[in-house]
Amino acid sequence: MKRMTVDQLRRELADGSKYMNEKITVNGEKFDSKKEAWRYAELLLQEKAGEIHRLRRQVKYELIPKQDGERAAYYIADFVYIEGNQIVVEDCKGYRTDLYRLKRKMMLWRYGIRIRET
């Protein structure tokens, strides 16, 4: 896992490096991709400016409960925060898999939450 600061990440992305879904650590926080780390840095700035509140990472939602020998199924949101009076569930996506599309639909059906994709 490559380690870098937020400033190093900004420089690397500004240099035109292609997003390669490489796991990285920025300021001690682990991310699944550079895109996710970059978005977290943006959201931290928005929170500091008072545009959003109560920013959280990797929030777990149960989609299907445990039943008869089967484990529960979950969706894990990249970010959850409050914007105005609305709770926002956000996911950084480079590629939308069939599994992700199914979980997105289940979030809407079960919780009435439409995931914001960035």
What digits encode the pLDDT tens for the residues 13-29? 665 444 457 788 887 88
- 19 or 40: which leads in pLDDT: 40
Domain shared by 111 and 83, yes or no: yes
Domain shared by 59 and 104, yes or no: yes
How many residues are listed for the chain in this entry?
118
Domain shared by 63 and 91, yes or no: yes
Q: List pLDDT tens digits, range 84-97.
A: 999 999 999 877 88
Alpha-carbon span 117 to 75, nearest angstrom = 14
Alpha-carbon span 93 to 5, nearest angstrom = 22
Alpha-carbon span 38 to 13, nearest angstrom = 9
Confidence of residue 53 (pLDDT cuts 50, 70, 90): very high
Domain shared by 75 and 118, yes or no: yes
Alpha-carbon span 71 to 51, nearest angstrom = 38
Domain shared by 103 and 60, yes or no: yes
105 has a pLDDT exceeding 80: yes
Domain shared by 41 and 61, yes or no: no
Taking all residues of the chain, what is their mean pLDDT, rounded to a whole number? 88
1-5, 81-85, 109-113: range with lowest mean pLDDT: 1-5
Please count the structural domains in the chain: 2
Domain shared by 47 and 95, yes or no: no
